């Protein structure tokens, strides 16, 4: 029987996905001990945090290099936990750079490893899959097309469905949402979803805000910013251009996505969340030039947005790096706000993407696999 689980979720999205698993494990087996790296959501469900995701939520090659001493320190501490607390199972959630290294350490200590939410091997190096054989006992994937990739390499793999489907909670009606945040109910809403990492806000929020300011005067709409729960408001205000006024919304990002006529979304899981509400969107992404050049040399897929990757084609426009300009965002946004035929076609495609994510129950499926694992 599984009594102790070491779980690692190094990012905000991983905290949200991991929280459901912690909740399901505690519901089935209240005495189970769960500890490791997570955030507030996992903590609320009963996980003991050794490190908080906010300590490790950075992106880009230069940022990783700058934080290498911290990363090595965290790895050493967690490896000590493998010896001192002797987990029955290690559950790794996404966060591949860190988690794949730790999987090797866990196997060295004879601990079973479950990987939940596959590294995006279909976008980067497919050779990485071969390296997972022997260090991952079971891979739990959230996209159906990922199963074949791992099965071909002889890795035990199961499609469990996507956890987003059980996380898309909306508490307010449109009227309630508008009243709560001072939004003019008679106007269209354009949502800005700048991401959950500080670097994403620093790289993209200013140009998103300037584009929105032009859109507001051109299309007479309200601009609403979905603030990720792990980010401080000050991070947005210091990157806000002078004389630009926006509605900042905290703890209601899903309402922001649902009630928007259009969303401008930083590439990442948020594109799938927005797709689940069938809200037309523009995907944007900008990083340091060094990170961008390295990524261009490694990436093997045509699109960067998860919504397009899952669709298998470009169903929403993407603006990347030097193409992320006020002029290009405004041109695309104005067209999407006024062209009903284009909006209808995009909504249909977004609905199809949601259908590809399976049905609710991912967290329960993952908990079942964990509890059925025979400790080494």
Structure-block tokens of residue 322: 């030097």
Structure-block tokens of residue 70: 């911290």
Please, is 227 exposed, middle or buried when counting C-beta atoms within 10 Å of its C-beta (0-12, 13-18, 19+)? buried
Does domain 4-161+361-372 match CATH 3.40.50.2000?
A: yes
DSSP states along 109-160? TT-EEEEES---TTTS-THHHHHHBTTBSEEEESSTTHHHHHHTTT--EEE-
Predicted pLDDT at 126:
61
CA–CA separation, 147 vs 357, rounded Å? 13
Structure-block tokens of residue 189: 């809403």
Predicted pLDDT at 323:
95
Predicted pLDDT at 325:
97
Homologous superfamily of the 174-356 domain (CATH): Glycogen Phosphorylase B; (3.40.50.2000)
The rounded average pLDDT for each run of 10 residues, N- to C-terminus, in the chain (376 residues) is 95 92 97 96 97 74 62 91 95 91 94 92 68 92 90 93 92 96 96 90 94 93 92 89 91 96 94 97 86 60 85 95 95 96 97 92 97 84
Predicted pLDDT at 97:
83
pTM for the whole structure: 0.84
Structure-block tokens of residue 35: 């500890």
Predicted pLDDT at 337:
95
Matching fold, domains 4-161+361-372 and 174-356: yes
Contacts of 348 (CB under 8 A, 6+ apart): none
CB-facing half-sphere around the CA of 354: CA atoms within 13 A: 19
SS3 assignment, position 314: coil
Inter-CA distances, 74 with 47, 56, 105, 303, Å: 18, 9, 13, 33
Contacts of 322 (CB under 8 A, 6+ apart): none
Predicted pLDDT at 367:
97
| Cβ atoms 279, 257 nearer than 8 A | yes
**How many whole angstroms from its chain centre is CA 214?**
29
| Cβ atoms 249, 227 nearer than 8 A | yes
CA–CA separation, 244 vs 154, rounded Å? 55
**How many whole angstroms from its chain centre is CA 271?**
9
CB-facing half-sphere around the CA of 135: CA atoms within 13 A: 16
Largest Cα separation within the chain, whole Å, is: 63
189: β partners: 222
CA–CA separation, 238 vs 92, rounded Å? 35
Report domain extents, the chain: 4-161+361-372, 174-356
SS3 assignment, position 229: coil
Closest CA to 231 of 173, 273, 270: 270
Contacts of 351 (CB under 8 A, 6+ apart): 278
**DSSP assignment, residue 265?**
E
């Amino acid at each position: 029987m599984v009594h102790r689980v070491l779980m690692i979720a190094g990012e905000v999205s991983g905290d949200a996905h991991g929280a459901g698993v912690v909740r399901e494990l505690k519901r089935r087996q209240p005495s189970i001990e769960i500890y490791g790296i997570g955030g507030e959501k996992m903590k609320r469900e009963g996980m003991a945090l050794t490190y908080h995701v906010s300590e490790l939520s950075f992106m880009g090659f230069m940022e990783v290099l700058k934080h290498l001493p911290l990363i090595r320190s965290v790895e050493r501490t967690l490896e000590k936990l493998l010896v001192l607390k002797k987990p029955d199972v290690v559950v790794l959630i996404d966060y591949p750079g860190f988690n794949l290294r730790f999987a090797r350490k866990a196997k060295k200590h004879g601990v079973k490893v479950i990987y939940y939410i596959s590294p995006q091997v279909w976008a980067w190096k497919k050779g990485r899959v071969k390296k997972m054989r022997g260090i991952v006992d079971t891979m739990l994937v959230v996209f159906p097309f990922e199963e074949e990739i791992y099965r071909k390499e002889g890795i035990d793999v199961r499609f469990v469905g996507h956890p987003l489907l059980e996380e898309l909670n909306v508490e307010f009606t449109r009227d309630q949402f508008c009243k709560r945040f001072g939004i003019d109910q008679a106007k269209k809403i354009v949502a800005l979803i700048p991401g959950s990492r500080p670097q994403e806000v620093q790289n993209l929020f200013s140009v998103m805000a300037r584009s929105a300011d032009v859109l507001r005067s051109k299309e007479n709409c309200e601009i609403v910013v979905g603030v990720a729960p792990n980010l401080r408001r000050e991070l947005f205000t210091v990157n806000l251009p002078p004389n630009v006024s926006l509605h900042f919304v905290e703890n209601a990002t899903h309402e922001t996505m649902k009630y928007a006529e259009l969303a401008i979304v930083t590439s990442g899981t948020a594109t799938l969340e927005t797709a689940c509400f069938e809200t037309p969107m523009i995907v944007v992404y900008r990083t340091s030039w060094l990170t961008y050049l390295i990524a261009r040399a490694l990436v093997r897929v045509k699109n960067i947005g998860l919504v397009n990757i899952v669709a298998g084609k470009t169903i929403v426009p993407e603006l990347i790096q030097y193409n992320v300009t006020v002029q290009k965002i405004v041109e695309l946004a104005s067209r999407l706000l006024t062209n009903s035929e284009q909006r209808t076609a995009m909504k249909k495609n977004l609905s199809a993407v949601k259908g590809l994510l399976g049905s609710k129950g991912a967290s329960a499926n993952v908990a079942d696999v964990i509890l059925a694992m025979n400790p080494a």
